[in-house]
A and B are shown apart, each in its own frame.
Chain A
């Protein structure tokens, strides 16, 4: 379960990167599939060492992300949501028909790599990247675009470049999550990476709070742990999970964690401030 939590944290952050620049992607499942299949093929068929395979898998997802991101930059808002959704479905249908990786039968044979230290290390690395980005010039550019794209452009931000970077980084991170997932369950099939999977990171980020990357982390943690806590409800478990999500959003539409809460925490524990610097 901690391993799943780690993978979900990475997945949540993969959505956070493009979202911090105002771009919602509901196609992260597609990038995850690319990372998972490429890395798995490299370890299972070519016998490459896993760090190289993971890097190539994530890079492949990133390359496709950049390719999709380029035309996707022309569309925004709801249109981008629908476009990434369509992309995710196309990737799923592609792997459903792609014989070298087992098509609909799924693909197996990859070694077990995703132990807790590996996931924890990579999740921490991605979280640090998110924290550093938020504090960087690029992160502030993302935030400016998120607030008002036109104003950002007027003050001299390279909007196109920044959006492409945020989208591509998100794809790379999603690809990494896919590679980790594949080497954890050691069996992947295209249906796992469908729309439901793409929706997962979105619910993490929205429930946790879209204002800061802490929201993505908290959302992923809560929504990974919650179904386990609800296990005593047996068959009502997932229904309650859905209702809990609904309830959280009604009470806190901005998500669990927002700037105000972080500011309050900083006042409460001054030592925390440097960590949360944004």
Chain B
């Protein structure tokens, strides 16, 4: 029973981590919060739903299409809600991204209707029994997809030239620019990657709970922020760990305490964390921008 809950928690946490990595990448290079990130996630869920419906429940195709679509959406958000505000007050992007988020929610509500929608039931579902554990093929797919994506992000940041440019920009945009890094291109790239990850998370959450509606992004967006904070702002491995911690904490909390307090665990953890260890679980130092 405990082990089963931990597996469920890890699955949920892996999805949280995907969202939080996006937040933390964007915060890393810009020092700003992207409050429409939850809505990008929502758009990803809907694109996945439509593509899966059109192509007979092909989840891999749905995932790829959703990532491409949300990646492009991320570029639009960057161009519209962030780039015009370079150098403005650091609170201004919070307002523009909230505005963009409202516009996305309402567009989705107009197009898809406010009610919940499920993924097509054509997706084959097999249950594997591993001793006391029961894992469905959908759960396995979610876990594998999330881990592959996280591994990909890690390799991208650690091993590629572009990844090094991202890390340099996160360290200090001015110096990185002086050393020949095209900071604008890095920001654009980060928005594409971050938004594509959120889109992937959208498809995975849609699969896990079989329910997609225009307002799923709100709560998920807040959870992603919580996870980013647990991991330390701008810290990618921290976001991965933070996601797993929150996922397991929530699932165990629901299983052993009361389900209606589920969200309180996350936010209680944040408040304690901020008081005791504001630099995050893996944080070594506070980011210089506050």
Given A78-B290, A83-B271, A245-B95, 15 additional A-B pairs, CB 8 A: A71-B271, A71-B275, A75-B275, A77-B289, A79-B274, A79-B290, A89-B264, A89-B266, A90-B271, A93-B261, A195-B218, A202-B94, A242-B101, A243-B103, A253-B88
Q: Is A87 an interface residue (CB 8 A)?
A: yes
Chain B interface, >50% SS class: helix
Q: Is the CB of B260 within 8 A of A96?
A: yes
Q: How far apart are the CA atoms of A243 and B275 in the complex, in Å?
A: 37
Q: Is the CB of B99 within 8 A of A243?
A: yes
Q: Is the CB of B278 within 8 A of A90?
A: no
Q: How far apart are the CA atoms of A97 and B104 in the complex, in Å?
A: 31
Q: Is B127 an interface residue (CB 8 A)?
A: no
Q: Nearest Cβ distance between residue A106 and chain B, in whole angstroms? A: 15
Q: Is B85 an interface residue (CB 8 A)?
A: yes
Beta-carbon nearest neighbor of B33 in chain A: A78
Residues of B within 8 A of A (CB): 27, 33, 80-81, 84-85, 88-92, 94-96, 98-107, 109-110, 218, 222, 225-226, 229, 233, 258, 260-261, 263-264, 266-268, 270-271, 274-275, 278, 289-290
Q: Scan A89-105; emit 1 where CB is below 8 A from any B CB, else 0.
A: 11011101100000010
Q: Is A238 an interface residue (CB 8 A)?
A: yes
Q: Is A82 an interface residue (CB 8 A)?
A: yes
Q: Is A112 an interface residue (CB 8 A)?
A: no
Q: Is the CB of A202 within 8 A of B261?
A: no
6 contacting pairs across A/B (C-beta < 8 A) = A71-B271, A79-B278, A210-B89, A238-B106, A242-B100, A242-B104
Q: Is the CB of B260 within 8 A of A246?
A: no
Q: Nearest Cβ distance between residue B220 and chain A, in whole angstroms? A: 12
Q: How far apart are the CA atoms of A207 and B95 in the complex, in Å?
A: 8
Cβ-defined partner of A82 (8 Å) among B89, B102, B260, B270 = B270
Task: List chain A residues, Cβ under 8 A from B107.
Answer: 239
Task: List chain B residues, Cβ under 8 A from A81.
Answer: 33, 94
Q: Is the CB of A206 within 8 A of B110?
A: no
Q: Nearest Cβ distance between residue A136 and chain B, in whole angstroms? A: 24
Q: Is A162 an interface residue (CB 8 A)?
A: no
Interface residues of A in 13-70 (CB under 8 A from B): 24
Given contacts A24-B91, A75-B278, A77-B290, is CB(A86)–CB(B258) below 8 Å? Answer: no
Q: How far apart are the CA atoms of A238 and B39 in the complex, in Å?
A: 15
Q: Is the CB of A203 within 8 A of B271?
A: no
- Chain A, interface size category, equals 35 or more
Among A71, A78, A83: residue with most chain B CB under 10 A: A78
Interface residues of A in 178-235 (CB under 8 A from B): 195-196, 199, 202-203, 206-207, 210, 235
Q: Is the CB of B96 within 8 A of A246?
A: yes
Task: List chain B residues, Cβ under 8 A from A236.
Answer: 106, 110
Q: Nearest Cβ distance between residue A253 and chain B, in whole angstroms? A: 3
Q: Is the CB of B103 within 8 A of A235?
A: no
Q: Is the CB of A246 within 8 A of B267?
A: no
Q: Is A261 an interface residue (CB 8 A)?
A: no
Task: List chain B residues, Cβ under 8 A from A78.
Answer: 27, 33, 233, 290
Q: Is the CB of B103 within 8 A of A242?
A: yes
Task: List chain A residues, Cβ under 8 A from B92.
Answer: 206, 249, 253-254
Q: Is the CB of B218 within 8 A of A254?
A: no
Give 3 closest A-B pairs by Cβ, nearest first: A242-B102, A77-B290, A253-B88
Cβ-defined partner of B85 (8 Å) among A77, A196, A240, A250 = A250
Cβ-defined partner of B270 (8 Å) among A24, A83, A243 = A83
Q: Is the CB of B103 within 8 A of A239?
A: yes
Cβ-defined partner of A90 (8 Å) among B96, B104, B268 = B268
Beta-carbon nearest neighbor of A206 in chain B: B95
Q: How far apart are the CA atoms of A90 and B27 in the complex, in Å?
A: 25
Cβ-defined partner of A246 (8 Å) among B81, B105, B278 = B81
Q: Is A145 an interface residue (CB 8 A)?
A: no
Q: Is the CB of A242 within 8 A of B95?
A: no
Q: How far apart are the CA atoms of A272 and B67 in the complex, in Å?
A: 55
Q: Nearest Cβ distance between residue A203 and chain B, in whole angstroms? A: 6
Q: Nearest Cβ distance between residue A80 and chain B, in whole angstroms? A: 9
